[in-house]
Amino acid sequence: MKKTISFAGLHFTVAFTVAYLLTGDLLIGSLIAMIEPIVNTVAFYFHEKAWQTKFLKKSHYSTPASKTISFAVIHFTIAFTVVYLLTGDALIGGMMAMIEPAINTVVYYFHERIWQRKEQQADHHNLLNIMVCQH
């Protein structure tokens, strides 16, 4: 859950900035920045659950790049849909769907790398603790 919350914070920041710059409207920008990341955070949670299955976790597809691409597709779809529904403007929806997810895809990649390093360090630490004699 910590991983999801940390990604949500990054996502809200990027979404508000891009939405406000595209619309020039503080209220619409704020609504987009609240709704779109909430929907994407829920999608992120289920995306992570799917990628934690034994098959995907142990496959060559579990690289940060593969996970990033799969989440980017989900993100682009959600961004366009939310913005289009809130603004009624396909152009702004399309621009938001291209710009905001592109920025967040880069953010997601580095976020994923950081969390994978943390997991590897924790696994290494746990292995060392098992190897130490407990007498």
Q: Dump pLDDT digits (tens) for 74-93.
A: 989 998 999 999 999 999 99
Q: What is the CA radius of gyration of the chain?
A: 18
Separation between Cα atoms, residue 54 and residue 51, nearest integer Å: 8
pLDDT at 51: 83
Q: What is the pTM of this model?
A: 0.64
pLDDT at 135 over 60: no
Q: Is the model more confident about 19 or about 124?
A: 19
pLDDT at 128: 63
Tell me the pLDDT tens digit for each residue of 13-61.
888 999 999 999 999 999 998 998 889 889 989 988 888 888 877 777 6
Please give the C-alpha separations between residue 101 and each of 6, 11, 33, in angstroms, as whole numbers: 17, 9, 12
Torsion, Cα 53 10 115 58, to 10 degrees, reads: 20
Question: Looking at residues 88-110, what average pLDDT do you find?
Answer: 90
